[in-house]
Each structure stands twice: as structure tokens, then as C-alpha cells.
Structure 1
Amino acid sequence: MEGPVRPDAAVGILADACASGVRTVLIGGRSGSGKTTLARMAGSRTGHRVVHLDDFYPGWGGLAEGSMMVARDVLAPERPGFTRWDWGNDRPGEWVALDPREVLIVEGVGSLTPANLRAARRRGRCFTVRVELDGTERRKRALARDPGFAEWWGYWAEQEERHAADPGNVLGTVDLTVLSG
């Protein structure tokens, strides 16, 4: 495990990893920690596609299901993709197809699980990242980004706690830890 590093250094490390043959980058951490920002920066630098779990969690109670969709759908060897979640209408939306040959940067709470890591490794080399930030700052960032998240913060945080407490997750064995903030 490399790190901890700051986000700007992490972007360079991720770009180097992708240039050396990494096919999937999995970026995890809790809400508001800086996962999306890091993924966008890495995607911009490398030109690789970024997939956000926020685009397909099936509603506010959907962290576990969204996590499973990474291995089952996003990283599927044939016809990969995901069903976008229509947050405004609280229902499934359209199918988003992915190219199985493209390098993917996948970010979101729940991205770092054994099943997702196995699926990523079936595609080729994988690089894992955990982004950390203290809880107060995470909450402030998340609510500034999405004020509607305030009423769901506690409910979502409980799901994050269950994910983090799962002894099978790979949060503690990542290739890189990023200290955001």
C-alpha cells in the first residue's frame, strides 16, 4: 500500500498506473471524502471513462445493491453497463452501455468489495484507492454539493457503517490511500 498522499499526487500515481496497463481503478471512501473529485481529475488527466456509483444506486437505501451492480453490471465481461437511477422520480432510468475494452475509473461508496475486486481483475490489472477525510468536513462538503442529502445523511451513513464494518471488504488493503481536504 502506497500513501497516504494528497489528491494532486494521487492523480499522477493513477495516471502512471493506467499508463502501465491498469484496466480498472476502483476508488472508495465515505460520502463527501473527495472520491468524485479525484476520479474526475484522474479521468481528465488520462482520458479514461469515469463511472460514478451515484448514477446507479437504486435510491437512498441502495448502497449494498449499487455495490453489487459494479461486479454484476459495470465490470461484466459481456455487455457491461448500468441502469441509471432517476433520482427525481425515484425509479430506474435508461441503460448506459460501456465498452468492455475501455479502461474504467469506478468511484463510489461500496466500490471496494471482494466481488468488485475479482471482477476488476478479470478485466486485467486493477488499482484500488481509498479516499479519507474527517466526518465533519465530509458532511459539510456533501451537503454543499447536494442540500437535499441533509434529510438522508444519517440513513446513508448507517449503510456506510455497515459497509465499512464488513470484514470481507477491501477498504484496509488498498494500493493507495488519499488524504483529502
Structure 2
Amino acid sequence: MVHEKTGGDRLDSETVKSLAEASRTRPPLAGNARLVAIEGRSGAGKTTLAEALAAETGWPVFHMDDVYPGWTGLAASVDLLACWVVMPLLNGANPRWRRYDWVQGRLAEWRTASVTDGLIIEGSGCGAAEIRPYLSILVWIDAPDEVRYRRLDLRDDAEAYAPYRGIWAHQENVFYAAHTPWEYADVVIDGTAPHQPAQQG
């Protein structure tokens, strides 16, 4: 695998353009689709990078937040990602998943995404060992705890998230100890870049 390290104090346009170019040139491994997975701990900057990459490539973004079955659902989301996103693409169909409603605390409506060339997946869990064979590019965003914690404090849902931060961090510890996605990443990005607060996950 090609392993690149990008850094600095901001996520500049050249970083995004370089990642977009690499994404377009990698072979599709999920049917005819190129999957780009953006991994990292909560608050690392996954959503920000995914949205920037989507703007550059025109590819849709799939948020793992949509399929975590609640605050204890990180591990379970891997099978859901495989079933609702990867398998349909392998069979020439579009992803179709049932969104989790975080406000109501239950499953909500079914959603789909039209994928022609590529799909960007962001969120903890998308770099799982079971998913990696289908990824054209795996990105790991590395950010120190103090940076991530500061961002989590500024999130729009910070108050609702606060009681679950420890629970979620424990799940991340367990998941990352088992799957170590940074060891398999094609691109490692310095996540200290300033970014806007994101929702869940």
C-alpha cells in the first residue's frame, strides 16, 4: 500500500485535491465503485474531510452515524455497513440502509444513495478488517486527545453527547485495539486542522 503522511496546522485544499486524485485513480474493489473510508476517533475531523472530498469528487458521503444502532452500537455497525452498503455495491445495486434516529432512539426510514463511480464513507468502524478488502483507499485522521476533546465540547450536540462520551470512547478503544486501521491506512492525515463542529459520531 502507498502510505502518505500529510500534516500542518490546517487541512488545505492541496491535501484534499491530492486525496481526490488518488481516489479517482485507484481500482474499484466494491463492484464498480471506489470506496474511500475515512477513519479516526471521535472529534478527529472525519466529517470535515469527507465533506471537502465530496465537494472535490462529486461523490456522495455515507455517514456511519446513520447505522450505529445507538450509543453502544459501534461494533454492530460493521455488519450493517457490510450488509447495507458493501454487499449491494458488489451486486451492482445502490446502498440502501435504515437510518437510526438519535432523537427518538430507534430505527427510522430507509435511505439510499446513488453511486456511479465512488462513495466516501466516514466514521469510526468503516476501516474494520472485514471492510478493508473492498476499500480503494483507507484514510486515518490522527489528532491528539486535547484537540478532539475541545472539538467535542463545541459540537452542536455536545450536551446530549456528554453522558455517552466515556461509553463511546471505550468502544473506540476496543474496536481500534482489534482492527488497528492506522496500520493499513493508505493516507494518514494530521487532524489538528481547525474545523466546524460536526454532529454525532
TM-score by length of 2: 0.80
Whole-angstrom distance in 1 between the partners of 2:121 and 2:104: 25
**Alignment match of 1:35 (pick from 46, 59, 63):** 46
**In the alignment, what sits opposite 1:98?**
113
Deviation per residue, 1:122-142 (Å, 9 max, x gap): xxxx01100011112112212
Deviations 1:130-160 (A, max 9, x none): 0011112112212311211111100000000
Give the C-alpha shift of residue 4 in structure 1.
3.5
Could you report, residue by residue, the CA deviation over 1:66-96 in whole angstroms, capped at 9, with x for unpaired residues? 1222222112224422211011110011111
Q: What letter is aligned with 1:91?
A: R
* Number of matched pairs: 175
Partner of 2:161: 149
| Partner SS state of residue 166, structure 2 | helix
In structure 2, the residue matched to 1:138 is 148
Structure (1/2) with the larger strand percentage: 1
Provide runs of 4+ in structure 1 moved above 3 Å: 99-102
Contact 1:36 1:108 in 2 (8 A): yes
Q: Distance in 1 between matches of 2:175 and 2:116?
A: 29
Residue 15 (structure 1) aligns with: 20
User: Unmatched 5+ residue regions in structure 1?
Assistant: none
Instruction: Please give the secondary structure, in 1, of the residue aligned with 2:147.
Output: helix
Once residues 191 and 180 of structure 2 are traced to their aligned partners in structure 1, the CA distance between those partners, rounded to angstroms, is 21
**Matches of 2:54 and 2:83, distance apart in 1:** 23
Q: Can you give the 5+ residue segments of structure 2 that lack an aligned partner in the other structure?
A: 28-33, 193-201
Higher helix share: 1
| Partner in structure 2 of residue 117 of structure 1 | 132
2:175 is paired with a residue whose SS is: helix
**2: CA distance, partners of 1:4 / 1:173:** 16
Structure 1 partner of 2:174: 162
Change (3 A) 1:98 1:44: same
**Identical columns (%):** 34
Aligned letter for 2:175? Answer: H
Does the 8 A contact of 1:74 with 1:98 survive in 2?
A: no
The alignment yields a C-alpha RMSD, in angstroms, of: 1.7
- Change in Cα spacing, 1:21 to 1:177, as seen in structure 2 (3 Å) is closer
